[in-house]
């Protein structure tokens, strides 16, 4: 193979001279520090062989070992009576009642998507699916959280279109609907887009499978695609280092996806679980075979022998380090009792996937790897996972925070309301995302009863009264201005979005996208974010059941905004038979605002960013009591079928929230305000909703019972979005608003 990775390839060739002075350069090239190398020598009591060094380099990478973040992640609340599997497994699992479980996880594929947007995004989808069906669950939905630099830059347009095509190409073909997500654009993502994908699956309790090797004597079977040279060291080379102009040369480290192979693998694995043929399963993702052998062995406290000559390969003459590090996609490792091997082979044959016995579980604790008759690795299995380095990296509040907070924008004059609204509706982060989600199959499985284009999504479980609600949220700008407050606010926003589908929040997964952890400022942002998420989850009484950390999101020394993304899962039981949607407002209905009507804070708002290009000031802190009141009220309004249409006040403030209802429903609205700031403030824990006037009395009772502030601010009807203040009236024609909102993305991309 001729690639730009040639030097590493040479170094990894066992026949090459790897003794003495060369080893020093090898471990560094593999991303290990000198101190980490010394630690390996201590563990083994000798110099590592090349294959061993390869395994440590991927398993001890930032991506796999969480070495910089682990000391902080212990802060997260992770327990609740309904948690079945918490952090540490392939996916978190919660109990939905009546024997139903939900398994879910979120992952990033940021760097691969920058290097090769289509395959980077596609394999991100493939990877997160495997994390979920590894648990015994059928994956039923995906969400994509994607962030790019501004679209006036052709490179960003290329990355954005490529990522959307990759998600569509893989997700549609593998047959798992993409039902929601979020897109956002900020300058800081120009050199480092963020591509986070969440997957949720459902299963019956007796189908739960864990990533364990089980007892000595069990057989390790590799299922699915053949192992090739793609993605060698993706975890250590791509995901755990910063970027610069040379990054394009890392393209061979990006894997190539095959959704058809994955689809067959899903169906084959589900049949294996249904027939009770496996003891445990581990997917092959980052760190490939190394991880799939080490983690299940360590979890079960057993040893393992692997014979690399039995691995089905795509190309001959792969070296042992290559076989152990390859991140070829669509592979699973199953641990099987010897008497069931033939049955597993039969299921694999039916689904036309390859399967081979590659090893067995042993007494003791060593991971022994053979290749061409020789032992190429003999190490304690747990040393790859439990003894991975942990760093308590220095952290400190950035010197720029005080300046940022005091840099409040001075609004000397009131803006023109109509043109300002149109400008916000044309902003790609606010505008309709239909251009994106109409390229994704979002309806497969007939579960989607609240789909994309709404705040949260609602998926019924067919044959039951239950539905699962999910909202994924992030806001890098807010977290840049105050990571702790910003992180708490996105948790509350996601919880409110879930509540507006009629569901109660139950659990969270998070994807923490940050810059270079070796900078104290970045580690401070990280610690503050963990604190903010934890505080919000504690206030809501919900646990964090899994997540992912992505560091080194910097290019040429420039870090991204600290960008935590949360995926919040809720449950509605019974689910609403007329699920609320943005397009269900009708003429004659009242327009209500839940939450304070007099919000004036604009720090961190889309209004200041889009209209004035200003990012400064300290955003308002969240208020747990107000958040819970809003959530209680939203759930009550939906479950009593009092409102067919609810929408949170977030990006763009009240004016945009109301306009989005009008646009989606194709009907005008008229409403009153007292101060122009009230129209654009993004103060948290607020939502607008519409309701039949006949329900006024009951709605006010519920507002009082939930201790939520409620104001009737206007009514639905007409053909314009009309703002009134005293005798002053501003109006935006509904057709113009609709065209602006719907054309914002397509006109920038064609």
Partner 1 sequence: MSRIAVVVFPGSNCELDVQWALRAIGAEAEMVWHRETDLSGFDGVVLPGGFAHGDYLRTGAIARFSPVMSAVTAMAEAGRPVVGICNGFQILCEAHLLPGALIANRDLRFICRPVEVEIVDTATVLTASVEPGAVLTLPLNSYEGQHTDPSGTARVVARYVEDVNGSQDRAAAIANEAGNVVGIMPHPERSSEDVLGSSDGRLLLESLVAATERIPA
Residues at the interface with partner 1 (CB under 8 A): 168, 172-173, 175, 258-261, 263-264, 267, 350-352, 434, 437-446, 448-449, 460, 462, 577-579
Query: Are the CB atoms for 92 and 107 separated by under 8 Å?
Result: no
How is residue 62 written in tokens? 């930032």
Closest separation in Å from C-beta 743 to partner 1: 15
> 87: which DSSP letter?
B
Phi (first) and psi of residue 454, to 5 degrees: -115, 175
710-716 and 194-204 strand pairing = unpaired
Cα–Cα distance, 392 to 67 (Å, whole number): 9
Closest separation in Å from C-beta 458 to partner 1: 10
> 192: which DSSP letter?
S
SS3 call for 280: strand
Q: Using the minimum distance from each CB to partner 1, give the nearer residue, 264 or 504.
A: 264
Q: Using the minimum distance from each CB to partner 1, give the nearer residue, 175 or 616.
A: 175
Phi (first) and psi of residue 85, to 5 degrees: -135, 125
Cα–Cα distance, 204 to 225 (Å, whole number): 28
303-307 and 366-371 strand pairing = parallel
Beta strands in 551-675 (DSSP E): 554-555, 558-559, 563-572, 590-594, 645-648, 669-672
Q: Using the minimum distance from each CB to partner 1, give the nearer residue, 393 or 460.
A: 460
SS3 call for 659: helix
Closest separation in Å from C-beta 350 to partner 1: 8
Phi (first) and psi of residue 110, to 5 degrees: -70, -55
Closest separation in Å from C-beta 742 to partner 1: 12
How is residue 339 written in tokens? 């008497």
Could you tell me the sign of the dihedral formed by the alpha carbons of 747, 562, 438, 159, in that order? Answer: positive
Cα–Cα distance, 529 to 521 (Å, whole number): 12
Closest separation in Å from C-beta 616 to partner 1: 39
List the catalytic residue out of 27, 72, 109, 614: 109
Closest separation in Å from C-beta 501 to partner 1: 13
Residues 6+ apart with CB under 8 A from 184: 146, 147, 148, 429, 474, 475, 476
Cross-strand partners of 220: 335, 359
Query: Are the CB atoms for 211 and 134 separated by under 8 Å?
Result: yes
Q: Using the minimum distance from each CB to partner 1, give the nearer residue, 297 or 449.
A: 449
Cα–Cα distance, 340 to 491 (Å, whole number): 45
Q: Write out the DSSP string of 343-365.
A: HHHHHHHHTT--EEEEEEEESSS
Report cis status (omega within 30 of 0) of the bond before 610. Answer: no
Q: Using the minimum distance from each CB to partner 1, give the nearer residue, 453 or 703.
A: 453
Q: Using the minimum distance from each CB to partner 1, give the nearer residue, 119 or 670.
A: 119
SS3 call for 45: coil
How is residue 660 written in tokens? 């989005």
Q: Using the minimum distance from each CB to partner 1, give the nearer residue, 126 or 233.
A: 126
Determine how many CB atoms are found less than 10 A away from the CB of residue 271: 16
Q: Using the minimum distance from each CB to partner 1, give the nearer residue, 270 or 304.
A: 270
Torsion from C-alpha of 459, 122, 85, 528, nearest 10 degrees:
-100
Cα distances from 470 to residues 179, 212, 458, 622, in angstroms, run 10, 29, 7, 21
Task: Report the first-to-last Cα separation within the chain, whole angstroms.
Answer: 38
The verdict on whether 647 is a catalytic residue reads: no
SS3 call for 407: coil
The verdict on whether 63 is a catalytic residue reads: yes
Q: Using the minimum distance from each CB to partner 1, give the nearer residue, 230 or 441.
A: 441
Closest separation in Å from C-beta 473 to partner 1: 23
Cα–Cα distance, 487 to 478 (Å, whole number): 8
Closest separation in Å from C-beta 30 to partner 1: 35
How is residue 174 written in tokens? 């593998």
Query: Are the CB atoms for 145 and 511 separated by under 8 Å?
Result: yes
Q: Using the minimum distance from each CB to partner 1, give the nearer residue, 63 or 442.
A: 442
Closest separation in Å from C-beta 420 to partner 1: 30
Q: Using the minimum distance from each CB to partner 1, give the nearer residue, 388 or 503.
A: 503
Cα–Cα distance, 113 to 166 (Å, whole number): 9
Residues 6+ apart with CB under 8 A from 532: 483, 484, 485, 486, 487, 488, 489, 491
List the catalytic residue out of 63, 72, 647, 695: 63
Closest separation in Å from C-beta 586 to partner 1: 16
Closest separation in Å from C-beta 172 to partner 1: 6
Query: Are the CB atoms for 551 and 514 separated by under 8 Å?
Result: yes
Closest separation in Å from C-beta 446 to partner 1: 5
Cα–Cα distance, 653 to 155 (Å, whole number): 30
Determine how many CB atoms are found less than 10 A away from the CB of residue 584: 17
Cα–Cα distance, 514 to 547 (Å, whole number): 14
92-97 and 590-594 strand pairing = unpaired
Q: Using the minimum distance from each CB to partner 1, give the nearer residue, 172 or 555.
A: 172
Q: Using the minimum distance from each CB to partner 1, give the nearer residue, 171 or 714.
A: 171
How is residue 331 written in tokens? 């592979």
Closest separation in Å from C-beta 508 to partner 1: 27
Catalytic residues, by residue number, are: 63, 109
């Amino acid at each position: 193979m001729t690639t730009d990775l040639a030097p590493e390839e040479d170094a990894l060739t066992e026949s090459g001279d790897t003794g003495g002075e060369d080893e020093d350069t090898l471990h560094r090239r593999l991303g290990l520090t000198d101190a980490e190398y010394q630690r390996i020598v201590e563990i083994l009591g000798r110099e590592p062989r090349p294959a061993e060094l390869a395994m440590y380099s991927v398993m001890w990478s930032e991506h796999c070992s969480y070495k910089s973040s682990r000391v902080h992640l212990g802060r997260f609340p992770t327990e609740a009576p309904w948690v079945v599997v918490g952090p540490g497994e392939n996916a978190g699992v919660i109990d939905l009642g009546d024997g139903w479980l939900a398994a879910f996880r979120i992952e990033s594929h940021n760097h691969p998507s920058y290097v090769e947007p289509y395959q980077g995004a596609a394999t991100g989808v493939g990877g997160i699916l495997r994390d979920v069906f590894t648990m015994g669950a059928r994956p039923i939905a995906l969400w994509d959280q994607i962030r790019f630099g501004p679209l006036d830059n052709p490179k960003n347009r290329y990355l954005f279109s490529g990522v959307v095509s990759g998600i569509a190409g893989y997700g549609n073909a593998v047959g798992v609907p993409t039902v929601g997500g979020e897109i956002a654009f900020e300058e800081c993502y120009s050199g480092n887009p963020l591509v986070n994908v969440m997957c949720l699956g459902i299963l019956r309790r007796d189908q739960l499978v864990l990533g364990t090797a089980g007892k000595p004597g069990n057989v390790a079977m590799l299922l699915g695609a053949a192992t090739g040279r793609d993605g060698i060291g993706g975890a250590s080379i791509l995901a755990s280092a910063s970027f610069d102009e040379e990054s394009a040369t890392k393209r061979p480290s990006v894997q190539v996806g095959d959704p058809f192979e994955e689809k067959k693998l899903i169906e084959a694995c589900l049949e294996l679980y249904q027939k009770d043929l496996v003891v445990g399963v581990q997917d092959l993702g980052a760190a490939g075979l190394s991880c799939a052998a080490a983690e299940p062995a360590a979890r079960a406290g057993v040893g393992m022998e692997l014979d690399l000559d039995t691995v089905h390969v795509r190309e001959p003459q792969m070296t042992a380090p290559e076989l152990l590090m390859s991140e070829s996609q669509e592979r699973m490792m199953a641990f099987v009792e010897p008497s069931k091997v033939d049955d597993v082979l039969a299921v694999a044959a039916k689904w036309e996937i390859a399967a081979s016995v590659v090893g067995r579980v042993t007494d003791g604790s060593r991971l022994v790897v053979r290749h061409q008759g020789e032992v190429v690795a003999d190490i304690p299995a747990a040393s790859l996972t439990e003894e991975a380095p942990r760093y308590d990296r220095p952290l400190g509040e950035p010197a720029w925070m005080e300046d940022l907070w005091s840099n409040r924008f001075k609004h000397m004059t009131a803006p023109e309301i109509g043109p300002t609204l149109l400008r916000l509706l044309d902003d790609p982060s606010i505008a309709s995302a239909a251009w994106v989600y109409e390229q994704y199959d979002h309806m497969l499985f007939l579960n989607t009863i609240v789909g994309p284009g709404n705040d949260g999504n609602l998926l019924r479980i067919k044959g039951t009264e239950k539905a699962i609600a999910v909202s994924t949220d992030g806001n890098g700008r807010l977290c840049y201005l105050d990571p702790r407050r910003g992180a708490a606010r996105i948790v509350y926003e996601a919880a409110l979005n879930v509540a507006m589908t009629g569901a109660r929040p139950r659990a969270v997964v998070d994807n923490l996208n940050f810059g270079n952890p070796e900078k104290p400022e970045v580690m401070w942002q990280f610690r503050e974010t963990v604190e903010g998420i934890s505080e919000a989850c504690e206030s809501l009484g919900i646990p964090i059941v899994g997540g992912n950390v992505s560091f080194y999101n910097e290019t040429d020394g420039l870090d991204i905004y600290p960008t935590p993304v949360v995926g919040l899962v809720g449950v509605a039981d019974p689910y609403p038979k007329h699920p609320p949607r943005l397009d269900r407002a009708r003429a004659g209905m009242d327009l209500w605002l839940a939450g304070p009507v007099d919000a004036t804070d604009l720090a961190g708002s889309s209004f200041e960013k889009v209209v004035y290009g200003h990012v400064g000031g300290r955003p308002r802190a969240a208020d747990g009591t107000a958040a819970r009141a809003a959530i209680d009220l939203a759930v009550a309004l939906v479950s009593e079928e009092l409102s067919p249409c609810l929408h949170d006040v977030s990006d763009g403030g009240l004016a945009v929230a109301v306009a989005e209802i009008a646009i989606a429903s194709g009907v005008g609205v008229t409403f009153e305000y007292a101060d122009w700031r009230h129209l654009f403030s993004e103060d948290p824990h607020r939502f607008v909703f519409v309701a039949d006037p006949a329900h006024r009395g009951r709605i006010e009772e519920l507002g009082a019972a939930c201790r939520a502030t409620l104001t009737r601010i206007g009514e639905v009807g007409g053909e314009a979005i009309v703002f009134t203040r005293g005798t002053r009236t501003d109006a935006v024609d509904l057709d113009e608003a609709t065209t602006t909102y719907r054309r914002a993305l397509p006109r920038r991309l064609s």
